[in-house]
Chains A and B, each alone.
Chain A
Amino acid sequence: MRYSGLQVLAQGLLGNRGWTPAWRDPDPKPAYDILIIGGGGHGLATAFYLAKEHGLTNIAVLEKGYLGGGNVGRNTTIVRANYGLPGNSEFYSHSLKLWEQLESELNYNVMHSQRGIINLFHSDGQRDAYARRGNAMINQGDDAILLDNAGCRKLLPYLDYDQTRFPIYGGLYHPRGGTARHDAVAWGFARGADTRGVDLIQNCEVTGIDIENGAVTGVQTTRGAIKAKKVGIVVAGRSSQVAAMAGMRLPIESHVLQAFVTEGLKPCLDHVVTYGMGHFYVSQSDKGGLVFGGDLDFYASYAARGNLPMAEHVMEAGLTLMPMIGKAKVLRSWGGIMDMSPDGSPVIDKTHIDGLYLNCGWCYGGFKAVPGSGFSFAHLIATDRPHAPAARYRLDRFLTGRGLMDEEATGSQHNLH
């Protein structure tokens, strides 16, 4: 069913009895050409672009829970293209361009809102670093404006500018950055893939990967064995476990990242604001809740919940930056499992096993990457050649040391990003 304003009107007049489910709920077939393990944002987008860009539709997405129950439905929804290093720069630029046409492409309202992102800086050194990053963004063809203190005051009058500890010198403004409705992104890609013939199979956990003579032949699941010529692993925080089924050990450590939302408030925050000194970032959802978060808890974790010290730290940082939110009540907090790579950048690559492909290492920044990652991973699976904007996301960069992409310049080591 195609969605449109007219459809909403017509259904409204008919008592909304004509809506149909957005996707089928099929049983797995015994064999497919391609299996995608993981029905998160990246897995669903991969299936969608395999069908749309490459005309391949004998595909199943295998999801152990329900579609969108992982990080794609747990993140703080920031979408941006403000990376500084070659590799990341062209990839996220491509992804943002896909975002900008996504709603018409999917015929689905993902509530993509380019409200602008402002990264605040608090010292001369940080200003220089952001000026450099802004120039890198402009070189890539994206948008960046360096705001001084007065420029920030105009856009963000509610911040505490005169705090003695971290006075606000200015900010790097990325107008095309913003947010999107995270669930809707999963649902939109799911519907788009299903409509083109992809089987989306829920409650189907992959428990083994079958390999014969160095080539993948299929997978074992809780709903039986399924054969396939090609298999893509896209399971975010569970990457290490699934790769281990193919005998691989990955440069990944899983960590918990927390997020928080307040009760609904009248519109007060127009942008996404990040406070680099206090590890705090915030935006306001369309329902009115302030959605905010901070750093990782920093210990390895598979619990989708964090501990109080980080929650406390995030709240403190938020109140330092914008005291006006002090009376807002926090409604909920939650966590997601992040597949942290040593250099903080992802992997989209073949493996040493024929027909087995790997997409992981998105750390806490993989939501904005959903369309770009799906597009590039689909290209790799369909053609066996890397897609240009993702060509640097190689797995062997850790072994060779060539092409590491460490945006924070803290070193390519676990626990630093």
Chain B
Amino acid sequence: MQIRCPLCGLRDVREFTIKGHAIALSRPAPDAGDEAWNAYLHLRENPAGVTTELWHHTAGCGAWLKVTRNTITHEILKVALVRDGVERTDAD
């Protein structure tokens, strides 16, 4: 597998570390309740097909990437920088 980092270009998967499903970007409010936190931490759609997940370009530029990937074929369909897609709620 190779991932096309938007900053570094096409690189071997050995340079990247996977964090898991991109649901990690949608953290519930601290008081959202057990169901919401369980859904965030544990429950997964786990699709056989297209999924989005977070990869870190550990041995490269250090950017967090949002990767759209097919879990059946391992084909990588889209790579974006997380910082471009995250809605910030705080002042910065």
- The answer to whether residues A251 and B20 also contact, given A300-B71, A303-B72 and a CB cut-off of 8 A, is no
| Contact among B19, B42, B48 for A251, CB-based, below 8 A | B42
A413-B42 Cα distance, complex, nearest whole Å: 7
B residues less than 8 Å from A309 (CB atoms): 12-14
Closest chain B residue, CB of each to CB of A299: B18
Question: Interface 1/0s, chain A 223-252, versus B by CB < 8 A?
Answer: 000000000000000101100000001111
Shortest CB distance B34–A (Å) = 6
B42 touches A303 (CB 8 A): no
B43 touches A249 (CB 8 A): yes
A residues less than 8 Å from B31 (CB atoms): none
A residues less than 8 Å from B18 (CB atoms): 298-299, 415
Contact residues on B (Cβ < 8 Å of other chain), bracket: 20 to 34
A414 touches B74 (CB 8 A): no
Shortest CB distance B45–A (Å) = 7
B84 at interface, CB cutoff 8 A: no
Closest chain A residue, CB of each to CB of B67: A299
B20 touches A414 (CB 8 A): yes
Closest chain B residue, CB of each to CB of A309: B14
Shortest CB distance A320–B (Å) = 18
A302 touches B71 (CB 8 A): yes
Shortest CB distance A301–B (Å) = 5
A249 touches B45 (CB 8 A): yes
Shortest CB distance A306–B (Å) = 9
A252 touches B46 (CB 8 A): yes
A250-B21 Cα distance, complex, nearest whole Å: 14
A233-B33 Cα distance, complex, nearest whole Å: 29
A293 at interface, CB cutoff 8 A: no
| CB contact list, A287-324 vs B, under 8 A | 298-303, 307, 309
A61-B59 Cα distance, complex, nearest whole Å: 48
| Contact among A249, A250, A307, A412 for B1, CB-based, below 8 A | A307
Closest chain B residue, CB of each to CB of A342: B42
A82 at interface, CB cutoff 8 A: no
B residues less than 8 Å from A252 (CB atoms): 44, 46
B residues less than 8 Å from A14 (CB atoms): none
B68 at interface, CB cutoff 8 A: no
A83 at interface, CB cutoff 8 A: no
Residues on B facing A (Cβ under 8 Å)? 1, 12-14, 18-21, 34-35, 38-39, 41-48, 51, 53, 69, 71-74
Residue pairs across A and B with Cβ atoms less than 8 A apart, 21 shown, are A240-B44, A240-B45, A241-B46, A249-B44, A251-B44, A300-B46, A300-B53, A300-B71, A301-B74, A307-B1, A307-B74, A309-B12, A342-B42, A398-B41, A398-B42, A398-B43, A399-B34, A399-B38, A412-B42, A414-B21, A415-B19
Since A238-B48, A300-B46, A302-B71 are in contact, a sample of 19 more A-B pairs with Cβ atoms closer than 8 Å, ordered by chain A residue number, is: A240-B46, A241-B48, A249-B45, A250-B43, A250-B44, A251-B43, A252-B46, A253-B20, A299-B18, A300-B53, A300-B71, A302-B48, A302-B72, A309-B12, A309-B13, A342-B41, A398-B41, A412-B41, A415-B19
